[in-house]
Structures are given as C-alpha cells and as structure tokens.
Amino acid sequence: MERIRLRHSCIFGKVIFIICVVLLTNGCATKIVLNMLQPAEYHQASLTKTVAVLPFSGQGGQQITSEIEGVLGSISIDGKNYFTVVDRNAIDKILGEMKLNQSGMVDQSTAAEVGKLIGAQGIYTGAVTQYNSTEGQYTEERSECSQYAQKCDAKGNCYQGNCLQWRKYNVSCTKRSGYFAFAPKLIEVQTGKIIYTRDINGSATSSGCTDGTPPKGGSELIGQSIEMAKAGFRKDIAPYYVVRQIKLMDSTNGIDSSQAKDKLKQGVDYAGKNRLDAACELWGEADTIASNSASITYNLGVCAESRGDVVAALPLYKKADRLIGKPDDDITLALTRVTQAIKNQEKLKAQLQNK
C-alpha cells in the first residue's frame, strides 16, 4: 500500500479539519483520512477555562494531581492553550496560609474559597480509587522434535531429515495486570457546585513465559493504565480529534459524456497524487457536464467536507443518495457524519470562544 499525504488546515465555524489522502494500490478506492474536531463530552466543564488543581486523595493522589495539571496545561487548539492553569506555587502558598492538608482532597466550600483567592473559575480535585497490580500463574503447552530422520545423499553426506517424533511439554507463564481508577470533579468557584464528576478507569495486561519475553512489571502496567484514564479525562473536558476515513467514488454509472468520465477519473488520480485541490476543480467541471452523476456529486460533497464546510456538504450527499437510487454504505456514513458535525458546530463554537 502506498501512502500519500496531503495536509491542509482550515477553520469553518470554528471546526478544524486536517486532511490526509491515502491511495490504496491493491484495487481499493482512494480514501480521504479526515481528523475532525469534536466537542468535549462534558460541555460545562469545557467552558471553565481558568482552572486550578487541588490535591487528590488516595494512593497515588500526589502523582495524579501532577498528571491532571499536565493534561490541562498541554491541551491546545489551533496553536493556542485551551486552559489557563493556575501556577502550583500560588496554590501551595494559599493552602499553606489556610493551613490545609496538601496531601488530601478538600471539600467543596473550601475548594471554592481557594479558587476565589487564586483567581480560578473552577477547581479540579477528587480521589484515586484504585492503584494496584495483580499477578497470576498459568502454563502453556509447547512441542519439540525428539527424534529426526537421518538421511544421506548419493555421495554419503548425511544430514538431518524430517521430524519422526514430537514431544509435548509445559512451560510456566505469568500474567500481570495493572489497574488505575480515579474520580475527578470540577467545582465551580462562583457557586461552589460540582459541575463535572465521573469515575474513570484504565487497565493494562501483559503475559510472558519462561521460554520467551517476560511480562511487563506492575509499575509499568499501572503507568499505562493511568495514561488510558487520562485520555478519557482529556475527551471529557475539551474538544478532541477523531479520525474519519472517507472513500471517494469512481463509478461512471449515469455518465454519458466521455469528457465527464475522464474528468472524474483524472480527479481521483489527482487526489491520489496529493492534489485534492485539483481533484475538486476537475469534479466541479465534470458536474457542469454530467450533473446527475452520483459519483461526481458525492465527491464534491467530500470536497466541501474537507474544507470544513459541512453545511454545503450535506445537500450534495443528499443529492448523491437520490441519484444512486439504492442504499449505499459510504453515502449513508457521509450523511450521518455531516449531520452530526452540523449539530456539533454550536457546541464547538461555544467551547472555542476565549480559548
């Protein structure tokens, strides 16, 4: 498979797209790989932009406090930090002045009070509810040759032949698992109310036998579990990207004009050669000749979607759906995708304001 990438960014209604063109040379259609910005899962949490992190309680609480600060501080959209995270030194100073325990979770009213003193809109805190690893033993069956045939050639040179007899035996193996779970919550400073809370967990497993690579250690597996949980938290609180694969159409059904057929094919070729701009221009020209082609209309919908103009893409996909005259998986996916993208635009617009 040959991979040809076209990177293009644009903002339409505050929706950001990154496009990659993937040419599959094994007979499959050319595909567009689209990184599409989705709104945060918890809208209210995403609107609270100036935040601080107070200590999490439980085993590993100090570690996850730093990890959550890192997640919040690392989120950027369109090259700009999404959150403003209050400096840890300022938080520690206030906690010290208030004689609060820096190794455990504080209550809602205290968190709100701290937030007002440090100028935060929201306070993240919570508890680690699981931080451990487990280990179990088991066996796996192996087999090896216990007797080979001895063969000799015409010159008397002898060599090892096929296996005549096999022996089965067991080896000792270890399965090790790491687990992590925490319950973050976001307290709105102005009201003292909890506006976001959820139980988030992660797990990782590794196995190995005495005759091969040993399993990963418990600490490493807990670390992987923490990363998994952090990824879930990240999607909750801020916009995030998802990858969509969009297949181009190349069927000439319904096209009588040889010129339109050529332009459709040339456009697909250009798309596969890192020239989606030229491809869209060719399909636009083909549409003036053969306006009732499902393939051309659908591909123009892909062009609109790749520019971030999902509002323009929707009627093109609907027209292609009518023209093709039967259910088509790619068109159905396109209709579902852009309909949801249109619904997401208002949330994204609100979430991306003042980022």
**Complete domains list, the chain, with CATH:** 43-129+178-202+221-238 (3.40.50.10610), 250-350 (1.25.40.10)
Cβ(114)–Cβ(98) below 8 Å: yes
Task: State the Cα–Cα distance between residues 125 and 110, nearest whole angstrom.
Answer: 11
Task: State the Cα–Cα distance between residues 299 and 310, nearest whole angstrom.
Answer: 13
Mean pLDDT score, 19-44:
74
Give the tokens for residue 305: 């979607």
Give the tokens for residue 204: 């990782």
Closest C-alpha to 19, from 4, 8, 30: 8
Closest C-alpha to 234, from 180, 184, 195: 184
Between 107 and 205, the more confident residue is: 205
Q: In what order do the strands lie in the sheet with 240-247?
A: 9-12, 15-22, 31-38, 240-247
Mean pLDDT score, 274-300:
94
Task: State the Cα–Cα distance between residues 44 and 74, nearest whole angstrom.
Answer: 20
Looking at residue 17, its pLDDT comes to 52
Q: State pTM to two decimals.
A: 0.80
Task: State the Cα–Cα distance between residues 8 and 86, nearest whole angstrom.
Answer: 34
Looking at residue 237, its pLDDT comes to 98
Task: State the Cα–Cα distance between residues 66 and 60, nearest whole angstrom.
Answer: 10
Query: For the chain, what percent of residues have pLDDT higher than 90?
Result: 75
Most confident of 84-98, 108-122, 216-230, 272-286: 216-230
Cβ(83)–Cβ(72) below 8 Å: yes
**SS3 of residue 184 by DSSP:** strand
Position 261 pLDDT exceeds 80 = yes
Looking at residue 276, its pLDDT comes to 87
Mean pLDDT score, 40-67:
95
Cβ(219)–Cβ(68) below 8 Å: no
Looking at residue 354, its pLDDT comes to 66
pLDDT digits (tens, 9 = 90+) for 129-157: 999 999 999 999 999 999 999 999 888 89
Average pLDDT, the chain: 89
Mean pLDDT score, 201-220:
97
Most confident of 115-119, 282-286, 307-311: 282-286
- Non-local (6+) Cβ contacts of 42 within 8 A are 196, 198, 236, 237
